[in-house]
Structure 1
Amino acid sequence: MVDYTGAFKAAAIQAEPVWLDADATIEKSIALIEEAARAGAQLIAFPETFVPGYPWWLWLDSPAAGFAFFGRYHENSLTLDGPRFARLLDAARTNAIAVVAGFSERSGGSLYMGQALISADGELVHARRKLKPTHVERTVFGEGDGSDLAVHDTPLGRIGGLCCWEHLQPLTKYAMFSQHEQVHVAAWPSFSVYKGAAYALGPEVNTAASQLYAVEGQVFVLAPCAVVGDAAIDLFCGDDPVKQQLLQRGGGFARIYGPDGRPLADPLPEDAEGILYADIDLSAIAVAKAAADPVGHYSRPDVTRLLLNTTPRRPVEQTAPLAEIFQEPSLAEPETAQA
């Protein structure tokens, strides 16, 4: 493991996607990448499923009613080898900035809640899938596996990421801490649904989850968060007053935290779009860990330990045909050597 002690500027996005329109949202993402790069940022983080936007219909009606959106959502989800995703790779390279993208990933007939770490030279470092979609999300998205709980060496430090309520899963967090993460992207979709009726879904709990992740793991946390605006209300609620009550405008609570849990950027109003910036000095991590390192001197592995299976889980494992494994000897007589 490389020992990083450098400093750089990082950016966390608070913005509204162009709902269910991958191409337009990628255009907007590229503009934000360019803006952050001009401001001197070397890392930019985007909200959960920013492309093509979080599927808010899941929380507003029956699964059957959601089929009206699903075809369009599926078509506007990204494939890792497709031209849309390639535009994000090119934007990172052109602007010399590392990007942590949030998107709906399409693989065959299935969708996954994806995050991708892209290097400043436009290479895909790692793509992961949300390990366990939350509640109604499971009617649309499949699950990731243990290989998705990974932290990666980059020129900026050891970077990892999780989505939304993965930050409420203690063992998942500990798996990330154990890999000596230094910069973490906590991607959120916005806190706009069931306001006042479901406290656990609101900003108080979930910004606290990002802050607690920072102080528990002694890591810098970038917590990008999307915004729900008029376009989302028109698309997902229409003229239905009940749906308009369930999904409300705003919900943007992007944050950046230091390894001691302190806020490093002034927040924007919840209905505003913009970019939060903070200076990241990795040398501060050593000071934070001097007090409590949960996977080091502050652990008790003789009492509690984590079993982490990082093996990729695939529905099909292909093996070579038996004829290729057990080659039958040729029936032809070998040629005799000529004198």
Structure 2
Amino acid sequence: MLREFPVFTAAAVQAAPVYLDAAATAEKAARLIGEAAAKGARLVVFPEVFVPGYPYWNWITDPVTGSAWFEKLVRASVFLPGPEIETVAAAAAEHGVYVVIGVNERSPVSLGALYNTLVFLGPDGTMLGRHRKLVPTWAEKLTWTGGDGASLRVYDTEIGPLGGLACGENTNTLARFTLLAQGELVHAASYISLPVAPPDYDMAEAIRLRGQSHSFEGKVFTVVATSTISEEIIAAMEGVRPDARALLERKSSAWSGIIGPDGREVVPGLVDEEGIVTAEIDLARCIQPRQMHDITGHYNRFDIFRLEVNRTPHAAVSPRDPSTPGEGQAAGTAPAGPIVTEGDAP
């Protein structure tokens, strides 16, 4: 429950990973956290699957050829908890900042399951939680499995209610509303640069528009962080497809920045180049816009609309203990409100 309205500096990191090297990418993230903290940042947001990188081969070759690269990615991906995220967490603790960072997360029980995961770290280095991307986008289905509703959560932090989504799921209206209805005021939106989009599609502009949509609709701040395409990535993908450079060098493919509750950039964003965008966030700016449109409050009709969110974690096996009391009992009547949650994980 928000009683104060913090004012703090947020940082959006636009950078490329050390491709398919999780340990080296974690070290790079730690350095960038230090740079952002030196600029006064208390929140640092990194791109989607920053550790150890994005499966670009899914978009430029056939599934059989890409299968060998899937194995490389599995071998390079991380467990949670694990030493790579501990490196990032140590940097968060050293500089006293909140961090949201995208990783390729390995399943502890399946060799063939990878998750596109956002990790939320506190300023003491603890892992606040993780969000597994609900639906991989199009070609991404060759790599990632879908997450579940257990991770659609907003974290109560010293800098305000913090939530986040990965890339295309920032266009999922119900997922975004689920976070807003939990009181989200600071939204982390992590993306990857995708120059191989159709020729008439401006990826950087599309990323910016998605952030503006969430901020304007929810009257919140959105911190957008997008990865870049390094020479190292291009060289690796040229081994997959000879014309990969022409596909991956296209400009206006990455945008990072910070958007206010009026839907406008707080400061000018960054296009394509590596860097860190910082801006002041004043959560009190979220108040007045909601007098007109508060879609999680007075500007809605919860007697007409009802959103149910299943937060039951998915598992490969769900053992049943016949002695467990209350198993199979029906849920009670849900109260009126923005969302109804079922199966909340402990």
Q: Structures share a fold, TM > 0.5? A: yes
Aligned to 2:48, the other structure's residue is in SS state coil
3-state SS of paired residue (1:99): strand
Give me the whole-angstrom Cα distance separating, in 1, the residues matched to 2:214 and 2:162. 14
Partner of 1:332: none
CA distance in 2 between counterparts of 1:144 and 1:97 reads: 27
Pairwise CA distance, 1:3:
2.6
Bigger radius of gyration? 1
Is 2:13 the partner of 1:13? yes
C-alpha distance after superposition, 1:261-303 (max 9, x if no partner): 1101222341x11100010101111112112111111112233
Aligned residue number for residue 175 of structure 2:
172
Other-structure match for 2:55: 55
**Percent identity of paired positions between Structure 1 and Structure 2:** 38
Query: Does the aligned pair in 2 maintain the 1:237–1:243 contact within 8 Å?
Result: yes
1:246 and 2:231 correspond: no
CA distance in structure 2 between the aligned counterparts of 1:27 and 1:89, rounded to whole angstroms:
11
Report SS of the residue matched to 2:58. Answer: helix
- Aligned-partner Cα distance in 1 for 2:4–2:138: 38
- Counterpart-to-counterpart distance in 2, 1:7 and 1:133: 34
Q: Is contact 1:57-1:66 (8 Å) kept?
A: yes
Q: CA–CA distance in 1 between the matches of 2:312 and 2:241?
A: 46
Is 1:295 the equivalent of 2:299? no
The yes-or-no answer on 1:143 pairing with 2:143 is: no
- Residue 280 of structure 2 is aligned to residue 279 of structure 1: yes
Q: CA deviation at 1:15?
A: 0.7
Equivalent residues in 2 for 1:66-215, closer than 5 Å: 66-108=66-108, 109=111, 110-197=113-200, 199=201, 202-215=203-216
Aligned to 2:269: 267
Q: CA separation of 1:131/1:237 partners in 2, compared to 1, >3 Å: closer, same or farther?
A: same
Structure 1 position 311, deviation (Å)? 1.9
Segments of structure 2 that go 5 or more residues without pairing to the other structure are 326-346
Give the aligned residue type for 1:24. Answer: A
Please, what is the CA RMSD of the aligned residues?
1.9
**In the aligned structure 2, how far is the partner of 1:175 from the partner of 1:237?**
41
* Partner SS state of residue 305, structure 2: coil
CA deviations 1:134-164 (Å, max 9, x no partner) are 1111111111111111111011110000011
Please tell me whether the aligned partners of residues 194 and 247 of structure 1 are also in contact (alpha carbons under 8 angstroms). no
CA–CA distance in 2 between the matches of 1:277 and 1:296? 31
State the Cα distance separating 1:195 from its structure 2 match. Answer: 4.9
Tell whether the 8 Å contact from 2:207 to 2:255 is kept in structure 1 after alignment.
no
Separation in 1, partners of 2:103, 2:241: 28
Q: C-alpha separation between the residues in 1 aligned to 2:206 and 2:141?
A: 22
8 A contact 1:214–1:259 mirrored in 2: yes
Shift of 1:37: 1.0
Determine if the alignment matches structure 1 residue 40 to structure 2 residue 40. yes
State the secondary structure of the residue aligned to 2:302. coil
Q: How far apart are residue 240 of structure 1 and its match?
A: 4.0
Deviations 1:44-83 (A, max 9, x none): 0000000101111110111111122122211211111211
Using the TM superposition, give the Cα deviation of residue 202 of structure 1 relative to its aligned residue in structure 2, in angstroms: 1.9
134-143 vs 248-257, greater mean Cα deviation: 248-257
Number of the residue aligned with 2:222: 221
Report the residue type matching 1:44 in the other structure. Answer: V
Unaligned runs of 5+ in 1: 326-339
In the alignment, residue 186 of structure 2 is paired with which amino acid? Answer: V
**Aligned residues of 2:61 and 2:240 also touching (Cα < 8 A):** no
1:75 maps to amino acid: R
Q: Distance in 1 between matches of 2:264 and 2:207?
A: 15
Give the residue type in structure 2 aligned to 1:8: F
Q: TM-score normalized by structure 2?
A: 0.88
Task: Map Cα deviations across residues 233-272 of structure 1 (whole Å, 9 max, x no partner).
Answer: 11113484543333325522112100111101222341x1
CA distance in 2, matches of 1:217, 1:102: 23
Tell me how far apart the structure 1 counterparts of residues 44 and 281 of structure 2 sit (CA, whole Å). Answer: 12
SS in 2 for 1:81: coil
Q: What SS does the corresponding residue of 1:42 show, helix, strand or coil?
A: strand
Assess if the C-alpha contact under 8 Å between 1:227 and 1:249 holds in 2.
no
Following the alignment from structure 1 to structure 2, what is the Cα–Cα distance between the partners of residues 53 and 64?
Answer: 20
- Aligned in 2, Cα 1:35/1:301: closer, same or farther, shift over 3 Å? same
User: TM-score, with normalisation over the residues of structure 1?
Assistant: 0.90
C-alpha distance in structure 1 between counterparts of 2:302 and 2:27, whole Å: 48
Matched to 1:128, the amino acid is H
SS at match of 1:34: helix
Structure 1 residues 47, 62: CA separation in 2 closer, same or farther (over 3 Å shift)?
A: same
Matched residues in 1 for 2:218 and 2:78: separation?
A: 31
